[in-house]
Structure 1
Amino acid sequence: MPTSFDICAEVVAGSAAWLGRGLSCVCAQRRESDARPSFDLTPAQEECLQRLQYRIDVQYDSSNVEHQEALRALWNASFPEEELRGLISEQWKEMGWQGKDPSTDFRGGGFISLENLLYFARNFPKSFQDLLRKQEGDRALWEYPFAVAGVNITFMLIQMLDLEAVKPRNLVGATFLKFLAENESAFDLLYCITFKLMDNQWLAMHASYMDFNVCSLNFDNF
């Protein structure tokens, strides 16, 4: 019987599959030992980690033209049939932002959380649309807010992989750097897989909006 990780790796198939399988094995090993890994970063790993940390440190800036364009691009990828009336608009609530100004929701995840959503929309449009429009499974009347969930997933992955440290202090983070050195999109790919896994968990729980804070995904569920 396929595991949830196998299913999700198939949904975001191709280059994402190797990442999903690899981290799934690592997380199984982590349950057998709580010891902190002892390792040195290779020059390639250190360089890739520093570039990723630079992305993590960038806060969303509503006055930054690049950030504005990324937000517009996210809307166009999400609702190509509907013209956006403005960066501050009631329309954003359709996507699962808490209010009419999405910039207020980026505080927890920074600009990289917008980049993650945009990467998902552009590279795996079918899976993205399925999640955005809640097209799979037996859904509750009140569903989780899609966009806010996406920002939360970015924040959760950064913390779980210990990506703000000089070097990760856990096995999952240490192993992730090996994947990152092979593919600089590894964090974005892992984000896509994790979003799908979160949705699978949501459906398995028969959850509704009131369960949103409870339904947080961690690698122990893989």
Structure 2
Amino acid sequence: MDDRGGHDGGSFVAVRRISQGLDRSNACHTTDEAVAGSTAWLGRSLSCVCVQRKEGDSRPSFDLTPAEEDCLQRLQNRLDIAYDSSIPEHQEALKALWKAAFPEEELSDLISEQWKEMGWQGKDPSTDFRGGGFISLENLLYFARNFQKSFQDLLRKQEGDRAMWEYPFAVAGVNITFMLIQMLDLEAVKPRSFVGATFLKFLSENESAFDLLYCITFKLMDHQWLAMHASYMDFNTVMKSTRRQLERELLQDNVNRIEELPSYGLLTR
């Protein structure tokens, strides 16, 4: 990981429903409206939430069926694609995300102050995709298209008794993609945990399982956020709680596919 050195250890600025972003450098960049807060909360959440194993830990290894191997390889191919603003397909996906999020508002340009309305760090969302790659954009777009009501509720913070300082929607989405990749150990040749092995079984039966799990996770995270009466600096704690809940649900004996996860019921189309 490179370090772009976004801060010198001092305070940064934050406001309610702030547009913030992150990359794997764990640097955090903010808008110019504000009050003083503490540093780089959302960037730090990646290392704190996702990397939970110690050096030397032994893990079980799980053999895969040919179907599971094929599905894992296809998913890993998606994980390897970085967002590239020069690729027309990527540009079109970003435009489609805007249209799905704000159908009543015309996007002036791919680089625009309007993106802050969605919770990106600034006027160019491409800088934020470094934390999750092109798949994090695909995840958001899948969510917007398949669970429109839940997507809009989270984007516009329409449900529940919200905190004065809210998490930024789009940046939280990139965090969720990254967390799932780490939780499921998707960059390994084969799974090294029961959670990862269980997910690959579901993936072999439904190639949209990762995108669907993303939607469930986003909604579950917000559900936990409200239940915990969380605010801006509690995001890391909420993500840890969300991960633990997902792991429990994936390992339930009566869950045989993603749609049977208890938290799937939180989603509305």
Quick check: TM above 0.5?
yes
Match of 2:239 in 1: 216
TM-score, normalising length: structure 1: 0.82
For 1:202 and 1:168, how far apart are their aligned partners in 2?
A: 29
Which one of the candidate residues 107, 120, 125 is aligned to 1:102? 125
Match of 2:250 in 1: none
Q: Structure 2 counterpart of 1:143, which letter?
A: E
Q: Secondary structure at the match of 1:144?
A: coil
Which sections of structure 2, spanning at least 5 residues, go unmatched?
1-56, 247-269
1:29-178 counterparts in 2 under 5 A? 36-178=59-201
Q: Which has the higher contact order (CA 8 A, sep 6+)?
A: 1
**Percent identity over the alignment?**
85
Measured on the aligned residues, the alpha-carbon RMSD in Å equals: 1.4
Between Structure 1 and Structure 2, which shows a larger proportion of helix residues? 1
Q: Structure 2 counterpart of 1:138, which letter?
A: D
8 A Cα contact 2:83 2:133, kept in partner: yes
Structure 1 segments (4+ residues) deviating >4 Å: none
8 A Cα contact 1:37 1:174, kept in partner: no
For 2:192 and 2:61, how far apart are their aligned partners in 1?
A: 8
Shift of 1:39: 2.7
TM-score, normalising length: structure 2: 0.68
Q: Structure 2 counterpart of 1:49, which letter?
A: L
Shift of 1:221: 3.0
For 2:203 and 2:235, how far apart are their aligned partners in 1?
A: 30
For 1:63 and 1:214, how far apart are their aligned partners in 2?
A: 36
Shift of 1:35: 8.1
The superposition leaves residues 16-57 of structure 1 with CA deviations (integer Å, 9 ceiling, x where unpaired) of: xxxxxxxxxxxxxxxxxx984443111100000000000001
Aligned length: 189
